[in-house]
Amino acid sequence: MDFLGGNILPRLELNIFLIGIGVFLLAGTCYSLISARKAQDGENPTLIRSLWLFFYSCFIKPHKGDSKGNQQDALESFYKSQAGAYDATRKGLLKGREDMLALAAAQLQLRIKPVDSNAKNIWVDIGGGTGWNIEAMSHFVDVPAFFDSVYLVDFSPSLCEVARRRFARLGWTNVKIVCQDARTFRLEDHEPVLHSGRPRSPETSYFSQERPRHAGANLITMSYSLSMIPDYYSVVDSLISLLAPDGIIGVVDFYVQSRVDISFRNYTGGLIDRHVNFLGRTFWRAWFDIDRVALEPGRRDYLEYRFGTVLNVNTRNYVLGAIPYHIWLGTHKQPLSSSLPHEIVAKVDALVTESPYLYPTNHSDLASRATGKGSREIHSKAFDAAIINLSSNLPLPSFFYQNHHYRIYYDDQLKKHTQFNNDSGHHQCR
């Protein structure tokens, strides 16, 4: 019988539904605990078990390690129960990894000089996890033959153990697994004799951010790891001394950012599709924050400030709700020559397609202050942009970091370029 105030107890159907959810979560939790124990013996979990481990670890399992303030404990709390299922559950989530590797491999093959037989080709994968990236690179280069040494640096012992089993199975002896904080990884600790034939001093490199002149890693990659490093400033700074003079850095990661943050920058390699609307920024930042994945724009901004941008792609993972992610290739902020202004002038001089009648405002004064002995006859929009960036201690526009300079430099933020709403017709061709 219904009382005047209505039924106090919920309907029977709702009770059954709630009981069903409780039973499902309880059974799943027990199943995850059993699966985690089985995974310790190296058994590869089934697809169903992998999906459940991913769901349980990301949305149900409580995170530990915060009370100690230990990043390694926090990582293990998240990854230990799902280490064996990591690769199977990330194919649809971590998009762009193959594209980043393909672009990086193309740059390497062009930049590495075969005439130097004593040089060692070294790749350092920061936050490499299970080693999926390194094995995937075999689609583009012969990893055991192309690289003398490959270092996988990760702070999770569980993921490193999966990587060790992977490369033992493949028989790739040139791959070294380093379970270490990326902030303290130094190449000279593992490569005592570098290109110059003399050991480098570890003491200097630990506290100096000077770029190497004779040695370093030809390739550094960070695949969805920059967003999971709390102290990212020190890690990005350490890459400067780790990267070889003509080396390449490849990064693929999630991001959210507004066009307001970067509308005044000319060194990001283009802004096409970089803007994420307010709802997208708010939702994805809160969603990933649950699993300690930080999407604040400062990580990407600092990386672009410390290095020169070679290539930049902003896109979405439309398979899983249009998650924003970017692919970025970079190199040293300063070119190899110690005479930086004169190198810029030489590059601009080589641009025979530049319009000869476009003189920058106050060109003579700017050129005199920036180059000292530089020529006052330079007349180039690219030169004008370079002078402005140099005077502000900013990276040069990505135009200057290309391997070949076949096209005319232009500012893609001018109204005459943005009036077409970023149609594919005016993408910059590298």
Each residue's pLDDT tens digit in the chain (430 positions)?
454 544 555 555 555 655 655 555 555 555 544 444 544 444 565 555 555 555 555 555 556 655 565 766 566 665 565 655 566 666 778 899 999 999 999 999 988 776 566 778 999 999 998 999 999 999 999 999 999 999 999 988 888 999 999 999 999 999 999 999 999 999 988 987 554 443 343 444 333 445 555 579 999 999 999 998 988 999 999 999 999 998 999 999 999 999 888 888 888 888 889 999 999 999 999 988 877 889 999 999 999 999 999 999 999 999 888 999 999 999 998 866 544 545 555 555 555 444 443 444 554 455 555 555 444 554 567 777 777 888 888 998 888 888 876 666 667 777 766 666 655 444 444 4
| Spatial CB neighbours of 253, under 8 Å, sequence gap ≥ 6 | 222, 223, 224, 225, 226, 227, 299, 300, 325, 326
The domain boundary residue, chosen from 332, 356, 374: 332
Residues 250 and 139 in one domain: yes
The stretches of 11-58 forming alpha helices (DSSP H) are 12-39, 47-55
The tokens 């060790």 sit on which residue?
A: 164
Residues 170 and 301 in one domain: yes
Burial class (CB in 10 A: 0-12, 13-18, 19+), 345: buried
The domain boundary residue, chosen from 298, 332, 366: 332
The tokens 């989530």 sit on which residue?
A: 93
Is there a domain that residue 373 lies in?
Answer: yes
Is there a domain that residue 193 lies in?
Answer: yes
Residues 237 and 125 in one domain: yes
Tell me the residue length of the chain.
430
Residues 62 and 126 in one domain: no
Q: Which amino acid is at 228?
A: M
CB distance 133 to 221 below 8 Å: yes
Is there a domain that residue 232 lies in?
Answer: yes
The domain boundary residue, chosen from 90, 125, 156: 90
CB distance 74 to 155 below 8 Å: no
CB distance 303 to 330 below 8 Å: yes
Residues 40 and 109 in one domain: no
Residues 200 and 101 in one domain: yes
Residues 194 and 131 in one domain: yes
DSSP code at position 226: G
Residues 85 and 102 in one domain: no
Q: Under DSSP, is residue 23 helix (H, G, I), strand (E, B) or coil? A: helix
Residues 117 and 226 in one domain: yes
Residue numbers of the domain that contains 354: 340-394+396-426
Into how many domains does the chain fold?
3
